[in-house]
């Protein structure tokens, strides 16, 4: 899932040089190496002269202060009784004088002589360089060039090959054609919508993270830093593959092989990059078997690990891919990390450990789980904010929508992905859902079941579009529920699906708002203007798909088709698909963004809704929160590196 547009990226949520341009830049830089080398020599000589002049200046009082040994100023010397220790036992800090002063002067003179000699040698070398003929200089420069090229070759030699591991059983990745002609016709329409979205991006935004379909140019947001990482390409790959769009898939793979580079000076969202890039690359690898996707996923994952270097091991929200420096969002409660962000890493990191043999990924996410298990939870609820420095909760705000949502989703999916052996994850999920039911789930006066938000002891009767994923989650987790409550949770999923459908049906465009209230006589309707937008979100359609898989009630296909028609009618433009700013207006204005998750999630779930159940069967695949399918790991007696043997 994705995050609210105005909440930078918590919850389920730039132009790229072509290969030719890149090589031209490198060639031009090489051509100028000789000029840079000469300038460097001259600059070095100048700096050396400056330093030399400084050290040859006569002593004065200012330089005498400089002569003080560091230990004279910073390190306390404790007098022995012989030296007259004060009766109070206080520590005396000596100044310069006597024997110590003489010793320090000698040391400083020795140091100064060494510096003089070093600078004289550097000056002499610079003079000799400048006396050489043009031919001699060119020969030296060529030698330096060759050395640089050799170093570059070593750097670009690529990562070490990953250890071979058994490929998980991959089933149900092709076809899925429904037997009913009318359903097939709808599925073909969804495939055509995907082709329009992809072709538009291919034509107008290739290599950028996202597309501005009206302006017909590339677009990016702060979650990807200032770099052109081709987010839409990575996010869309598995959808293309599942839909049988193999030429388009091949184009995306070629771009990734030639252009996707994570050694950039860019500050990115750990959460968003994990679910979109690592999730997308791993899914593309499992579906296609192409090693490049696995290697790229591992390269990126290594860049995310420094985000965990905090006093508690709870990762920062953002990390610089080049420097490894992390920080949190400025708006998050008192510098806190966000539950849905640090709690939505487990699926991808377990697969990383499985594929690489490196236990660090598994250990990082299990450390988070263990830390949370030790903490007190108000009313059994998990607040959305946790300070990574102190290990304490921030403000007591609990939500199954933005800021909290995918934390609960990943507890359930960790259990499913482990072939139902991770019973600790299942128990944690069950306890959390029980508290959510008790405190957050209510029925409106009109009979609509909704999930509110808990804020400092008060239930806000508002539900976000993001929280609509929960209907599918309750259905997915019904089997295996404690106390024979499978039927109860399947029914709860159906009720949430109905409420979210009402939020769509009560708008002019038949598309759902970002958030909707249940008070003052209004139900499932947005009140604030800044909550009336629809940005191509998938959560409602996701729930329709899960409910269809578990019940085969035809209304879910009907509701999904209503949404698909509305998207095609009101969001489609000549340059792709755009979000709309007011779903209650008959003449909506566009936000001019084709989100990458529209191709990763919304269109994938619609396609699966109109496919047969043997395409991506839920017994074999678990979808991450960006709808990237990862295979169930049937590990049997195999234990992940760094883990304890699983208990059934």
Provide CB contacts within 8 A for 489, sequence distance 6+.
Answer: 433, 474, 475, 477, 478, 481
Give yes or no: 210 in active site: no
- Beta strand pairing call for 318-320 and 522-525: unpaired
How does pLDDT run across 203-234, given as a tens digit for each residue? 999 999 999 999 999 999 989 988 999 999 99
Give yes or no: 539 in active site: yes
What the block records as the tokens of 643 is 């883990």
In a domain, 194, yes or no: yes
Q: What is the rounded distance in angstroms from the CA atom of residue 219 to the CA atom of residue 311?
A: 36
551 marked as binding residue: no
* Cross-strand partners of 61: none
Provide CB contacts within 8 A for 134, sequence distance 6+.
Answer: none
Residue 270 contacts residue 318 (beta carbons within 8 Å):
yes
Domain count, the chain: 1
In a domain, 516, yes or no: yes
What is the predicted pLDDT for the residue at 20? Answer: 39
In a domain, 22, yes or no: no
What is the predicted pLDDT for the residue at 641? Answer: 79
Give yes or no: 272 in active site: yes
Q: What Rg, from alpha-carbon coordinates, does the chain have? A: 31
pTM score over 0.85: no
How does pLDDT run across 282-297, given as a tens digit for each residue? 999 999 999 999 999 9
- Backbone φ and ψ of 282, nearest 5°: -65, -45
Q: What is the rounded distance in angstroms from the CA atom of residue 202 to the CA atom of residue 92?
A: 73
Q: What is the rounded distance in angstroms from the CA atom of residue 613 to the CA atom of residue 608?
A: 8
Scan for tokens 């409106």, then name that residue: 444
- Backbone φ and ψ of 609, nearest 5°: -60, -35
Please report which helix (H) or strand (E) contains residue 396, including its range: none
Residue 362 contacts residue 349 (beta carbons within 8 Å):
yes
In a domain, 83, yes or no: no
Active-site hit among 267, 424, 453, 514: 514
What is the predicted pLDDT for the residue at 353? Answer: 96
Q: What is the rounded distance in angstroms from the CA atom of residue 67 to the CA atom of residue 62?
A: 9
What is the predicted pLDDT for the residue at 144? Answer: 67
CATH of the domain at 305: 1.50.10.10
Q: Could you tell me the residue range of the domain that residue 438 belongs to?
A: 181-631
Residue 539 contacts residue 1 (beta carbons within 8 Å):
yes
Q: What is the mean pLDDT of each run of 10 residues along the chain (648 residues)?
A: 42 41 39 52 61 48 34 33 36 43 70 77 72 68 64 56 84 94 98 98 98 97 92 98 98 98 96 98 98 98 98 98 96 95 98 96 98 96 97 96 98 98 98 98 97 94 98 98 96 98 98 95 95 98 99 98 98 98 96 98 99 98 98 76 58
In a domain, 159, yes or no: no
In a domain, 297, yes or no: yes
What is the predicted pLDDT for the residue at 43? Answer: 63
Active-site hit among 210, 272, 341, 591: 272
Residue 428 contacts residue 414 (beta carbons within 8 Å):
no
What is the predicted pLDDT for the residue at 545? Answer: 98
What is the predicted pLDDT for the residue at 373? Answer: 98
Provide CB contacts within 8 A for 427, sequence distance 6+.
Answer: none
Give yes or no: 247 in active site: no
In a domain, 366, yes or no: yes
What is the predicted pLDDT for the residue at 121? Answer: 77
What is the predicted pLDDT for the residue at 78? Answer: 33
In a domain, 58, yes or no: no
Q: What is the rounded distance in angstroms from the CA atom of residue 648 to the CA atom of residue 633?
A: 14
How does pLDDT run across 5-34, given as a tens digit for each residue? 434 444 455 333 333 333 333 433 333 445
What the block records as the tokens of 68 is 């003080």
- Backbone φ and ψ of 647, nearest 5°: -110, 125
What is the predicted pLDDT for the residue at 167? Answer: 85
What is the predicted pLDDT for the residue at 101? Answer: 62
Active-site hit among 238, 248, 539, 591: 539
Scan for tokens 């000789």, then name that residue: 34
Please report which helix (H) or strand (E) contains residue 402, including its range: none
Q: Which of 502, 508, 517 is closest to 464 using CA atoms?
A: 517
Q: What is the rounded distance in angstroms from the CA atom of residue 450 to the CA atom of residue 448?
A: 6
In 501-645, the DSSP E strands lie at: 515-519, 522-525, 572-573, 576-577, 621-623, 629-631
Q: Which of 22, 34, 277 is closest to 156 using CA atoms?
A: 22
Active-site hit among 302, 405, 531, 626: 405
What is the predicted pLDDT for the residue at 160? Answer: 66
Assign residue 368 a region: left if phi > 0, alpha if psi is -120 to 50, beta otherwise? Answer: alpha
């Amino acid at each position: 899932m994705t995050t609210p547009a105005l909440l930078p990226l918590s919850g389920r949520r730039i132009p790229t040089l072509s290969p030719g341009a890149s090589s031209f830049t490198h060639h031009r830089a090489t051509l100028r190496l000789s000029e840079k080398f000469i300038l460097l020599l001259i600059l070095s000589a100048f700096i050396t002269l400056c330093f030399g002049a400084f050290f040859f200046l006569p002593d004065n009082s200012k330089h005498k202060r400089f002569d003080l040994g560091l230990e004279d100023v910073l390190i306390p010397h404790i007098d022995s009784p012989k030296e007259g220790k004060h009766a109070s036992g206080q520590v005396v800090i000596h100044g310069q004088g006597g024997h110590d002063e003489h010793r320090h002067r000698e040391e400083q003179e020795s140091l100064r002589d060494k510096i003089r000699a070093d600078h004289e040698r550097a000056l002499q070398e610079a003079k000799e360089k400048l006396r050489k003929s043009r031919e001699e200089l060119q020969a030296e420069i060529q030698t330096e060039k060759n050395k640089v090229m050799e170093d570059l070759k070593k750097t670009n030699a690529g990562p070490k090959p990953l250890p071979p591991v058994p490929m998980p059983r991959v089933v149900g990745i092709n076809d899925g054609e429904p037997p009913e002609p009318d359903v097939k016709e709808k599925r073909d329409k969804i495939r055509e919508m995907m082709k329009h979205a992809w072709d538009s991006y291919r034509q107008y935004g290739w290599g950028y993270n996202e597309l501005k379909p009206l302006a017909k140019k590339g677009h990016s947001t702060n979650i990807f830093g200032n770099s052109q990482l081709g987010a839409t390409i990575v996010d869309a790959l598995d959808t293309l593959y599942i839909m049988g769009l193999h030429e388009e898939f091949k184009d995306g793979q070629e771009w990734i092989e030639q252009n996707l580079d994570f050694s950039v000076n860019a500050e990115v969202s750990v959460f968003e990059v994990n679910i979109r890039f690592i999730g997308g690359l791993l899914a593309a690898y499992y579906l296609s078997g192409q090693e490049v996707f696995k290697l790229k996923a591992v390269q990126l994952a290594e860049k995310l690990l420094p985000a965990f270097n905090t006093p508690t091991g709870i990762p920062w929200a953002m990390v610089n891919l080049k420097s490894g420096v992390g920080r949190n969002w400025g708006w998050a409660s008192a510098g806190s990390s966000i539950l849905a962000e640090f709690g939505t890493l487990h699926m991808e990191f377990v697969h990383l450990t499985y594929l690489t043999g490196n236990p660090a990924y598994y250990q990082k996410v299990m450390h988070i789980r263990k830390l949370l298990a030790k903490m007190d939870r108000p009313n059994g609820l998990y607040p959305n904010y946790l300070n990574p420095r102190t290990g304490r909760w921030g403000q007591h705000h609990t939500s199954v929508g933005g800021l909290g949502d995918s934390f609960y989703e990943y507890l359930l999916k960790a259990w499913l992905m482990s072939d139902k052996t991770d019973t600790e994850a299942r128990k944690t999920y069950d306890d959390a859902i029980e508290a959510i039911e008790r405190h957050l789930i209510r029925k409106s006066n009109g009979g609509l079941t909704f999930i509110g938000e808990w804020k400092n002891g008060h239930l806000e009767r508002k539900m976000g579009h993001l929280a609509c994923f929960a209907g599918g989650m309750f259905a997915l987790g019904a089997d295996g529920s404690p106390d024979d409550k499978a039927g109860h949770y399947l029914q709860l999923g159906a009720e949430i699906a109905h409420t979210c459908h009402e939020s769509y049906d009560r708008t002019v465009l038949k598309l759902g708002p970002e958030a909707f209230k249940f008070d003052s006589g209004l139900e499932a309707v947005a009140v604030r203007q800044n909550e009336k937008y629809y940005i191509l979100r998938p959560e409602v359609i996701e729930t329709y798909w899960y409910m269809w898989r578990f019940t085969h009630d035809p209304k879910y296909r009907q509701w999904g088709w209503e949404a698909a028609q509305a998207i095609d009618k009101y969001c489609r433009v000549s340059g792709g698909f755009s979000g709309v700013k007011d779903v209650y207006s008959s003449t909506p204005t566009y936000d001019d963004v084709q989100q990458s998750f529209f191709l990763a999630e919304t269109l994938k779930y619609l396609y699966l809704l109109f496919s047969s159940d043997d395409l991506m069967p839920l017994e074999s695949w678990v979808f991450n929160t960006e709808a990237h399918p990862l295979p169930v790991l049937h590990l049997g007696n195999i234990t992940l590196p760094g883990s304890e043997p699983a208990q059934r």
